[in-house]
Each structure stands twice: as structure tokens, then as C-alpha cells.
Amino acid sequence: MSIESDPQLAPLIFAPEYVAHAMFVGERIDVSELENLAAETPTVVPIDRGCAVLFRYGAVVFFDVAPAARLKFLSQITELISDPFAEPEQEEVILRVDPESVEHVAGRVFFLRESSAERLQLVATVLGKSVVLGHYENSLATVFDRVEPLVTNLAQRGRAPWRSRRLLEHIADSLQIQHKMIGRAEVTEKPELLWERPHLERTYLRLADEFELYDRNLAIARKLALISSTAQTVLELLHNRRSLRVEWYIVILIVVEIVLTLSERI
């Protein structure tokens, strides 16, 4: 289905070259409110002579939409965005339409045969996953900055300065990121679009490889595992220290009781 032949999306993109701009705007977007005005999943909404593709997990990808029009559209759907981010993760590429070329990627320029809805949805899927990965890469960097002093303290002094509650928070943060990436964005999953249009799979793999979706996801998974194992190890050390402390309290009480018993007999 081409953009020009879709009555819901025409007239939209006709330029031989235009910009695709992706944003991770919030934790979730309620696209059900837009379904009557949009194309099939993922949701495509016309904006001027361009369009926006929206994903339930919080990403929006604009095609041939001016910056002012993007801000206006986002302000119009503010109520549909859950937990919006103050500084959304963003990414931008150029799409070049050439019916005679083989679809490929050259740097940040994507060569497409046509501006069909299915191809734009496919490109949007890759860009949406990329900004999600970028967001959590930055989040993990912050967590690592907080965990590093703990590891350093353990190495130098052999003891942990943090309370178990702080450690549990780090474990919870790691599990939450895993849940959002796997359960919502489905970064490593094959897009539903490809099940119905297998001829686009090669194009998707090229785009996914260009943005290193699988490699970046693997790197995040390893960092999450490291953060989780570090926090759990320190938590066990804290519990062991508390157990040892309790044992010493018991020993002291026993000694005190013996001393008192002996003093009564003398």
C-alpha cells in the first residue's frame, strides 16, 4: 500500500528526500484514542504533508514534519502520554526515495524504493527501538556511576557503605528496565509487520544492523546482569554481617548471664 493510494494518508510525502525524526517521549502512549484517525498498527497519523508513527511503548517517529509542527502535535497528544520525559531521546536520519535503486543504507541516509505506508512503518519501528535503546543506555550509565563507588569501597576497604534498601532499589531498577525493553518495546522481537509482509524482512535486517539493535541490546543485557549481580553480592555481604553481629550479641548475652549467675553464687 503506497502513501499516495491510501485515502487516510494522502496527500502526504511526495518529496524525493525528507527527514525522519524519532523521539522517545514517555513511558507509554495511549494510541487507542487515535486509531479511528490513523492507519493500521503501528499507528500512522497524517500531519500536514508528512506523518507521524506512534508506538504504545512511548516512541514517536515523524516523517517530513517541521520542528514546529512536531511540537504542536506533541502538545495535542500530551494527555495520551504517560510519564513524559523532560528530555526525550532523539534520533534523525534522511530518507531518499529512488524507485530504481536497491534499498540500502549509506551512513545516515536510507534509500527506499517508495514512500509506502508499510516501509515507513518499518523504518519507524527501527528508529523507535533505537531511541528506546539510547534512553536506557543513558539510564544505565547513571546507575553505573552510582554503583562504582560501592565496588571501589569493597575493593579498598572490604566493606559496603550502603544500606540494603539502596541495593534493593538498584536491583528493582535493573528489573524494571528489563521489563520495559522486553515486555513493551520488544527490541529483539521480529516486528508483526514482517509476518504479513515477508518481502520487507531483508530491508528490516539492513536497518537493524545499521543501528546495531541486537548488539546494543546484548550490551545492555550484560550491564543489567552485572549491576544486578553486584547489588545482590553486596546485599548478601550485608546480611552476613548482620547475622554475624546477631551471633555476637547472643554470645555477649550468654557471657553476661554466666557472669551474673556466678556473681550470685559467690
Q: Are strands 59-63 and 17-29 parallel, antiparallel or unpaired?
A: antiparallel
Distances from the Cα of 236 to the Cα of 9, 17, 241, angstroms: 57, 57, 9
Instruction: Tell which wins on pLDDT, 64 or 173.
Output: 64
116 with 199: CB under 8 angstroms? Answer: no
Instruction: Tell which wins on pLDDT, 106 or 121.
Output: 121
Judged by average pLDDT, the poorest of 30-44, 150-164, 182-196 is: 150-164
Q: What is the pLDDT of residue 94?
A: 93
Judged by average pLDDT, the poorest of 92-96, 159-163, 167-171, 178-182 is: 159-163
Q: What residue type is 69 in one-letter code?
A: A
Q: In the predicted model, what is the mean pLDDT of the chain?
A: 77
Nearest to 123 by CA among 48, 214, 38, 191: 191
DSSP H or E stretch at residue 260 = helix 213-265
Angle, helix 213-265 to helix 117-157, in steps of 10 degrees: 30
Q: Three cell numbers at 186? A: 520488544
Q: Give rounded-to-5 percent helix, strand, coil for the chain.
A: 60, 20, 20
Strand partners, 54: 43, 60
Chain position carrying cell 540494603: 164
Per-residue confidence at 225, pLDDT binned at 50, 70, 90? confident
What's the pTM?
0.74
pLDDT digits (tens, 9 = 90+) for 35-66: 555 555 688 888 888 899 999 889 999 999 99
DSSP H or E stretch at residue 78 = none
DSSP 204-237: HHHHHHHTTHHHHHHHHHHHHHHHHHHHHHHHHH
Q: What is the pLDDT of residue 246?
A: 65
Q: Three cell numbers at 155? A: 575493593
CA 150, CA 215: separation in Å to the nearest integer? 28
Per-residue confidence at 175, pLDDT binned at 50, 70, 90? low
Put residue 58 in one of left, alpha, beta given phi > 0 → left and psi -120 to 50 → alpha: left
